[in-house]
Amino acid sequence: MNLDAICDCGGKVNVNDWQLNRGGLFYHKEVDNVLFLQTDYPFSLTEVSLFNCAMPGAIAVMNLQHLINCMEMQLKILRRHDKPVTISGICNDRDYFSVRKMVCEFILYFRTYMNSIRWDLSTLEAAIPEINKDIDTLFDSIKRFFSTLRTFPDSTLLYAASNIGNKCKQPEFHMYHIHIELRWFFITLIYARTTWYQYSIHTQLEELENTFAIVISDLIYAALKVFERLSLNWTMDLTQKTPYNCTCIRELWLMLQIFIDSLEERLKTKIRSNYEQVEKILKVYVCKGGKDGERDELDTELKIIIPLLHDLIINWWQPRISVISFLWDCFHKRLDQPFLQQTSGPWALSVEKKTAADILKQSNDRIDGKFEQTKESSYSLFLYLLGTFLKKYSKTDVKYWNQVKGRVYTKFSKSKVEEFSESGLYNFISLFITLAVSADTTNVCLTMLELLPSTHEANNENNRKYNLVWKGKLTCLLLFSEKGLSFDPIIGYFTETINLISCRKDEISRSMMTNFVDVLNKILTDNEKMDLGEHHFVGGWIDRYLLECPKNRISTLLVMLVNVFEMCVTLQVCGNSDGARKMLDALWCFVASRVRQLVFDPVLTGDNYKNISKLAVIFTLEAVRDSSTAKKYKHSAVSLFQHFAASIFVKDIRITQCYLTLILEDSQAVQNLKKEIPNFDTILIQAWIKCSIVGYGTYKEELKILQHYITGLDEIKEIFISDNDLQEFRNNSNEPILTFIISFMKKQNLLKSEQEKIQHTGKCKAYFKNLEKWVLLPITEETKDSEVAFWIYRCLGTLILCISPTLYTKNQPNDMLRTLVNKVILVPENSTQPYIKQLGKKIFSMVILGLEKLNIKGDILLQAMIRDIFDQYLPILITEINNGGNFRVSDMLLKCFKEAKCEFMRSIFETLMSNFYNISSDNVMHKHSNLITWLIKTLLKEGKKYPKYTVEHIVQICSPHIFGCYVKVHDHHPHKLHTIDFISDVVKSPYYEEDRIIREKFQAAVSTMVQKYLTLNTQPTFEFIRSVLPIKKDMIISLFPQIETVVSQAEQYRRHNAVSLRFMWNQLKKHMLNMNNRS
């Protein structure tokens, strides 16, 4: 027989360690031994040792009174130490553990005996009268010993635990633990006697229940001693504090719990929850200051009370609403106080920074217990209790929800809510969202929306308050979406407000719209069925929002529209979804036109071009799939494709490039569009040209996709005269557009028949149509020096150089070439694009040499255009050096004279001299004449770097103009020196020395000048002759007969200047004679 059941203490309780001591009562199967009794007890063969005295187990009970006296004596030994002592003092040598053990062995023996006779009715009836009196004596003795617990000093209850267990020598330790052991054994004894009477009409349950009450009361007394020493500090985590003085107390609580639960299954007991007692306590608490918040400690107290009540209400008690009502009375009058808000933890953000999603997530997390209780306010803990209660019981019995609803709703009115401060509104919203999450979502949200103030009158004075109201309303939308409820009942609370605030331009309205877009984005993302009435939220506000919202918010809206559009198309293709159909209808109505406008606004486009392109593609392909809906809103696949792929007003070429790339990736879409758009391929070629020119630096992979497509077209293959050229075009990943233009030129040069040339010209003009309208769009004052600008002008220069004859139409004022040159080269007066000249300067020679291929002589318009080009570019191609009077001629200009053919160069000189090298009626030379002088000077000094006909044209065409100006300007004009320098440069030119014809032409020019001006401009002419004499004496000598003839004729006809002519002529000869004598 095993009588060795005794507590084995493990010391103080660690809340995180729930392992029971293996030497304790529970592991000795004390609960099982009581609940599941043996049927065979071999007392007749067993000898027991009680109080150090061995006796037969079958008859030991006959000496029960003596054994009780022995027990009392042992208990008295232990009771000697129930008075205050110094626990750490020196202990005597008595073995207190053996004292405890003897008492426990006696009680266990007697309990075993009582259980052994319960199965034998005859024995039971014979034994009960004999031992009943002694049993009462035993029970009374134990009860008297129990009463001594209340006389223990606090130190015994608080510090009697020991982690060395029964090896402890302290008498207080053993005295305390015998109290624990006897309470368990006493309950089991009462239970054993109660079961004796299960066959009789009498019941002893009341005694058992009273015994439970006594024991539990003593345990609560001991627990209170633990908590009495804790300071009232809400930051202390009470879940880390236990009511257990030691592990043995915890073990006793556990055994009692298991025992009571088992009894409730077997017997009808009166053991009930203490709900009514707690309810009474709370009622008194509320009446004594809790209701009105009269005490400063109220919030701290509630933060301690509510978590304890939560565990009882949710996990133990049957559902009742009264405790929650008492707690609600502590809060509803104080909702406007800010101390109810959380001050720490993950949700301790300012109300202003919290979004609608934050508010809903906080409510959900609170109800789900995903928060730290020590970091929550008392109000948050109340909402946790309220939400958890409703979530558990409101669905099973509607009366609980009705009771809560009645108590909460009656405390609010629209006027009262409107008077709330920001803190009060936040607490109000948190309350109603908690109710909506855990109970009747629709009813609560409708009530809250009705009670919240209108946001129509929001202004800067109350912007934070109304922003919070708006967030509260938006939280309802998120909750409806989360619950999968239709928005129809609440949509009216939002549409009018959205349309109103989207028209405003103040910060509060922008903030409200931003919050709405974030909520709508989440709603549309979370619901893949689109069956909650989401289409109601797509309206005219989208157009206004894109114009008014911060630029970094545009992407959010565009991505949302792309995602919802793709989702709806998928739903419609897979099955006829009414919600998707309505959403598509709304998108066509309110978004399609806005997307078309977006491509015209580079500020809005920015980094959003991909999303704009995606929307454009989806609208285009949807117009092919559902043309009737597109037509309903005045759109079509043709108009959309032409708009996004071919519009000259698309500001960002990346949109066109991305748009076409996305379409080309879908072969079926290409085939469908080709059926709708006859000139699909031509538009693609035009777009590729545009992307290649103005899309410099953009994604090359996208451009390669476009190039790959057009390379496969027969009309493009025909342009290349050989497979090698076509292969070069395919493989040239850096500059394919230049290869394309050059191939066009080669093809044009090979064509023989006029019909082929006309067709080729038509194709070229079709491909480069409207070039002048879009080519300069990327170039601004800020980008004029960028690589993009240089690349664009390089392409333009190549285009004019190679295919100007193809682009030009004679006698047509608005032909492509002239229009292009006027746009990209010539700058009108007062232009806002003066930087064009600096870019045009870089391709000046390409433009001039491109015009060389045209028949200039017979085209007055072309001549005028060349004149205008030189008029604008001479000042920037020939520039002064450091203000020193010397000029530098640009290589771009000189290149024209290096590469131009003879006739075209002659035309250039004729244009320059006739238009810019003349003198006005008041003897003022043209502003460009000095520049041309330096140009001629540079050409002459460079020697043989330029063709011989350059010097020939200068001698023949430029000399007369230079000499004519010489005789007309005043005596000290710089041109006089420039003219002499000019003569010197001509004479020094290697071509002059080598070529007799050039010498004769220059001699003729000088002779003509003398013949023309000697009579009318006598003095300047003789000055000219005198100045040339040192440079080229023989040239002047050859003029002597001509001069003599002119002078003689003047004398013969007695002209008025005959005398002066003769005088100057004699002076010149005298001067020559002196020169000869000096030499």
Give the pLDDT confidence score for residue 202 in this predicted structure: 43
CA neighbor of 741 nearest in space, from 801, 694, 817, 791: 801
* Residues sharing a CB contact under 8 Å with residue 289, sequence separation 6 or more, in sequence order: 295, 298
Give the pair of three-digit tokens for residue 10.
């493990």
Place of tokens 């159909």: 581
CA neighbor of 474 nearest in space, from 453, 454, 494: 494
* Residues sharing a CB contact under 8 Å with residue 483, sequence separation 6 or more, in sequence order: 441
- CA angle 903/909/911 to nearest 5° reads 100
Query: Residue 239 and residue 304: Cα distance in Å, rounded?
Result: 10
pLDDT tens, position by position, 236-278 = 656 567 888 899 999 999 999 888 888 877 766 666 667 777 8
Query: Residue 87 and residue 154: Cα distance in Å, rounded?
Result: 12
What share of the chain has pLDDT > 90, as a percent? 56
Query: Residue 256 and residue 248: Cα distance in Å, rounded?
Result: 12
Residue 820, amino acid = L
3-class state of residue 8 by DSSP:
coil
Query: Residue 489 and residue 765: Cα distance in Å, rounded?
Result: 60
Query: Residue 42 and residue 61: Cα distance in Å, rounded?
Result: 14
Q: What is the DSSP string of 565-624?
A: HHHHHHHHHHS--HHHHHHHHHHHHHTHHHHHHHTT-HHHHGGGHHHHHHHHHHHHHHHH
* Residues sharing a CB contact under 8 Å with residue 814, sequence separation 6 or more, in sequence order: none
Cβ of 244: how many Cβ atoms within 10 Å? 20
Helix 96-117 to helix 171-196 angle, to the nearest 10 degrees?
10
3-class state of residue 880 by DSSP:
strand
To the nearest whole number, what is the mean pLDDT of the chain?
A: 88
| Mean pLDDT of the region 769-778 | 92
| Mean pLDDT of the region 407-430 | 93
**Helix segments in 80-170, DSSP class H:** 96-117, 121-147, 154-159
Give the pLDDT confidence score for residue 90 in this predicted structure: 46
Give the pLDDT confidence score for residue 126 in this predicted structure: 67
Among 234-238, 686-690, 836-840, 921-925, which is the least confidently predicted range?
234-238
Backbone dihedral angles phi then psi of residue 421, each to the nearest 5 degrees: -75, 180
Give the pair of three-digit tokens for residue 420.
């709330």
What is the 8-class DSSP label of residue 290?
I
pLDDT at residue 458 tops 80: no
The answer to whether the beta carbons of residues 579 and 591 sit under 8 Å apart is: no
Exposed (0-12), middle (13-18) or buried (19+): which is 994, by Cβ within 10 Å? exposed
3-class state of residue 47 by DSSP:
strand
Query: Residue 316 and residue 310: Cα distance in Å, rounded?
Result: 10
pLDDT at residue 1029 tops 80: yes
Q: What end-to-end distance do the CA atoms of the chain give, in Å?
A: 160
Indicate the helix (H) or strand (E) that contains 560: helix 554-574
pLDDT at residue 184 tops 90: yes
Query: Residue 285 and residue 278: Cα distance in Å, rounded?
Result: 10
CA neighbor of 473 nearest in space, from 454, 457, 488, 460: 454
Confidence of residue 622 (pLDDT cuts 50, 70, 90): very high
pLDDT tens, position by position, 513-535 = 999 999 999 999 998 889 999 99
The answer to whether the beta carbons of residues 833 and 776 sit under 8 Å apart is: yes
pLDDT tens, position by position, 324-346 = 998 998 888 888 876 545 455 44
Confidence of residue 1079 (pLDDT cuts 50, 70, 90): low
| Mean pLDDT of the region 494-517 | 90
| Mean pLDDT of the region 901-928 | 92
What is the 8-class DSSP label of residue 954?
I
Query: Residue 759 and residue 177: Cα distance in Å, rounded?
Result: 114
Q: What is the DSSP string of 900-946?
A: --HHHHHHHHHHHHHHHS-B-TTS-B-TTHHHHHHHHHHHHHTGGGS
In 476-579, beta strands by DSSP E: none
pLDDT tens, position by position, 118-165 = 766 666 666 677 778 888 899 999 999 999 988 888 888 888 888 898
pTM for the model = 0.75
Give the pLDDT confidence score for residue 811 in this predicted structure: 81
Give the pLDDT confidence score for residue 734 in this predicted structure: 77
Query: Residue 142 and residue 135: Cα distance in Å, rounded?
Result: 11
Among 91-95, 803-807, 1043-1047, which is the least confidently predicted range?
91-95
pLDDT at residue 802 tops 70: yes
Upper half-sphere CA count for residue 298 (Cβ side, 13 Å): 21
CA neighbor of 110 nearest in space, from 43, 208, 177: 43
Give the pLDDT confidence score for residue 239 in this predicted structure: 58
Q: Identify any residues that bridge with 879 across adjacent strands, giving them in sequence order.
A: 888
* Residues sharing a CB contact under 8 Å with residue 242, sequence separation 6 or more, in sequence order: 13, 15, 226, 250
Confidence of residue 86 (pLDDT cuts 50, 70, 90): very low
Sign of CA dihedral 405, 411, 412, 413: positive
3-class state of residue 472 by DSSP:
helix
CA neighbor of 508 nearest in space, from 460, 551, 471, 546: 460
Place of tokens 């958890």: 388
Please give the C-alpha separations between residue 318 and each of 210, 399, 402, 804, in angstroms, as whole numbers.
Answer: 23, 14, 17, 95
Query: Residue 724 and residue 721: Cα distance in Å, rounded?
Result: 9
What is the 8-class DSSP label of residue 878?
E
The answer to whether the beta carbons of residues 363 and 434 sit under 8 Å apart is: yes
Query: Residue 1078 and residue 864: Cα distance in Å, rounded?
Result: 54
Query: Residue 151 and residue 743: Cα distance in Å, rounded?
Result: 114
**Helix segments in 340-457, DSSP class H:** 356-367, 378-393, 398-409, 414-418, 422-438, 441-451
Q: Identify any residues that bridge with 1011 across adjacent strands, giving them in sequence order.
A: none
Strands 47-50 and 53-56, bridge-based pairing = antiparallel
Residue 322, amino acid = S
* Residues sharing a CB contact under 8 Å with residue 735, sequence separation 6 or more, in sequence order: none
Strands 53-56 and 878-880, bridge-based pairing = unpaired
Give the pair of three-digit tokens for residue 820.
């292009």
pLDDT tens, position by position, 644-689 = 999 988 888 899 999 999 999 999 999 999 999 999 999 999 999 9
Query: Residue 658 and residue 701: Cα distance in Å, rounded?
Result: 10
Confidence of residue 89 (pLDDT cuts 50, 70, 90): very low
* Residues sharing a CB contact under 8 Å with residue 664, sequence separation 6 or more, in sequence order: 670, 705, 706, 709
Please give the C-alpha separations between residue 76 and each of 100, 136, 141, in angstroms, as whole numbers.
Answer: 11, 19, 11
- CA angle 323/326/331 to nearest 5° reads 130
Query: Residue 464 and residue 460: Cα distance in Å, rounded?
Result: 8
CA neighbor of 391 nearest in space, from 363, 414, 416, 411: 363
